[in-house]
Homo-oligomer: A and B are copies of this chain.
Amino acid sequence: VTLLTDFGDADVYVGVMKGVILGLCPEAQIVDLGHAVRPQGVPEAGFLIEQAAPYFPEGTVHLIVVDPGVGTERRILAVEADRQHFVAPDNGVLTQVLAGVEAYRVFAVERREYSLPDVSETFQGRDVMAPVAARLACGLPAPAVGPEVRGDLVMLPPSRPVAVADGLEIHVIHVDRFGNLVTDLRVEQLLAWQQEQGVGSVLIEVGDRTVSGVRSTYGDAEPGELLAVVGSAGRLEIAINLGSAATVLGVGRGASLVVRPCA
């Protein structure tokens, strides 16, 4: 069972969910994906779970509690995809990860007997989602949690590269701990665009700075030098070797960059 929340580290909310899980499925192995998602940061959590899920084995249950609508009419979902399960509110947090899988089935978590006896309106991660994740980890089939959802799920508008005059506008979707700017341009998309446009090497405009070419890794640039690199998520990143591109450039999540042919 993996846990991804916006609960931070100052409270015992995460620990309490683990206690609930271990009480119902003592042999579960629990892994923290992260709890530093900013409060109510649904798209950020969506990016993180998309990045992490493929590296976990079959049978993993991913529990994602970033849930600004807790206690309101929003549904709680249990999704079966790629031999893993995802338990999360129906608020779009699964948009990116489900876009990457071939097929999935979605169930609404409604069977009350799988929740804790008392369900609060303010912490359903503890009272509903953790118990269901524990039971799925211990072998409960997903269809048992409630009716299959056949209609639409809440989906977030995806961040996507956009063709512009003589270039490709791309966007920063994540800033990591090293200050690397992770963009919405996947390496396959970059190669396809280069081929389509007959472009050899590329320039990337970031504010009033320009980066030339795409390097293999951070250490291929001089210390302090700005570079573009294909990061570990298979996406174009702007980085500074041994420094922080985010700090030096003053650029954050949501910023636009432009890829251009190198003259």
Chain A residues within CB distance 8 Å of chain B: 2, 4, 6-16, 18-20, 22-23, 26, 29-36, 39-40, 48-49, 51-52, 55-57, 60, 68-72, 120-123, 126, 174, 176-178, 216-220, 229-232, 237, 242, 244
Across the interface, A55 reaches (CB within 8 A) one of B16, B60, B122, namely: B16
Inter-chain contacts of A217 with B (CB < 8 A): 70-72, 121-122
Across the interface, A12 reaches (CB within 8 A) one of B10, B51, B68, B219, namely: B51
User: Can you show 27 pairs from A to B with CB atoms below 8 A apart?
Assistant: A2-B19, A7-B177, A8-B177, A10-B36, A11-B34, A11-B174, A13-B176, A14-B32, A15-B33, A15-B52, A16-B51, A19-B31, A22-B29, A22-B56, A23-B56, A23-B57, A30-B31, A39-B178, A39-B244, A68-B219, A70-B217, A70-B219, A71-B216, A72-B219, A121-B217, A122-B229, A122-B230
Would you call the interface of chain A mostly helix, strand, loop, or mixed?
A: loop
Contact B52 A19 (CB under 8 A): yes
Inter-chain contacts of A242 with B (CB < 8 A): 40, 68
Inter-chain contacts of A36 with B (CB < 8 A): 9-10
Contact B177 A48 (CB under 8 A): no
Contact B10 A31 (CB under 8 A): no
